[in-house]
Structure 1
């Protein structure tokens, strides 16, 4: 994945998501003005923007949805760049790569979560006229669909990594930059997913829903369901790529050490010189491996600090 390509994909996703949310609000305003009056339309859009925070939460969900299509599709490219011959022999890898890249299964997943989200918010009614409730419920169901689609993409990426975990590398993985970029990509994406989930849950929990039945009262805690499901999965998934890549690095290092030992056995140098070459090469491999680990872990403290601060702030607001 080229850095510039990834940057423009992220930028495009953000602006496209923001424009979509603005267009949704504009269409809703004109429809409500035509069906009711301008006062009802204006008050609804004010709730959408300032209380429901549709532009903020909606942009976060839709932008990450687009990023999951544009950015995560580069994960197989990075894996195949580092392990071109090894993954071509893996049927399990090809299966999950096809599932990650296919559009048909993604569309089915999107539709399933849309129906589920719309069903939940058909019972947790937004205040106002039926069309006003429909305006909010459809937009909320779209956010559920985006979250479900993103979760499916991460699920496929996780299985892609699992399928290469036991591969024996045929080349020196320390010579390629594919795996560091893969870890960086997954780290950023999982952090943004967690951030999106927290934003979505926070603003939806602040809404005053109309609970028209006892069953709706029981469903009210489902507002927190996205964060409950996403928090442990995303946090664990943030560490899983490192575990897989580190295991592959260690295998590659062992193979390089064995390669050097074979070369030394064929040389005419003294045993002392052979031993010194072996120690120097092992030291180089170890230092390079530790450097890769430090780079991979360098962004974690900032991400975890921001995440904890957001969760604590939201918990305090909801408790007050």
Structure 2
């Protein structure tokens, strides 16, 4: 079976080693979490009383910020916001993002599409490529190391930094809260645009409130409180067979109309402007446009009174999504199977890029 080991936590396994596995997600056939996870590298069977040949890194951390707290694999990291950090003086009294655009999204799979949209728009307008920082929250995977998307985007030069907040860990920088993660993105990584979403994996129970994406509304509040410019990316699908996720997902509608209490810009795509090759066989883009524009009405009448930003999903933007350095995939569907999902995310990046001076 496929198994995943994080050497920092369990040591470095080698062929022939005996390992203790957690197979809970694999046993249930989960998608994103469909791996066995190595809990420990064990000594050979005839040497049970000896010390394992490989050990996790137990050297004292420079910091005292514990993540994955009170679990067997809790790890200690240096947080940018704690006293031992060389950045503490920047964050001690920090209180503003100076209008930095912050894009929030429900799913980790939106990350490369958002960046593609921002880069495409900057280049189209003859502007420098924006510096982009990703703030990863703890609604999905906790280790940033699990994400091949982050690794691929970093290797391609599309992502400048990753900051892990809450219980998430493994980023270039660690922070206690989304608030200090955002401030670190602005003051330490000097991001032009920051993207906030959970790590790989998404918890949803088919109930109104039982999904990890409610944090997108909370991130809008945090961004606004810190004088940033919040941009809410819509989770849209033209191919999801579940009614609650067809058109604008109820995740976006619930989080943005009920959890978010501060206004955000919400790019609303016009999908009928894309090439016919980017339409699904089951859903006419004109019909999908009509549906999402109807579903979007509560976004402007809710307590936050968001601002809808109508944008065309152009053929050039669709073409840009065909050349991302990492594969585009959401809920098992790629770009040609569910183009609306990625075009909507890309337009959030497009809007953010237009706000840069």
Which TM bucket (shorter chain)? under 0.3
Q: Report the structure, 1 or 2, having the larger helix content.
A: 1
Choose 1 or 2 for highest CA Rg. 1
TM-score, normalized by length of structure 1?
0.25
Q: Report the structure, 1 or 2, having the larger strand content.
A: 2
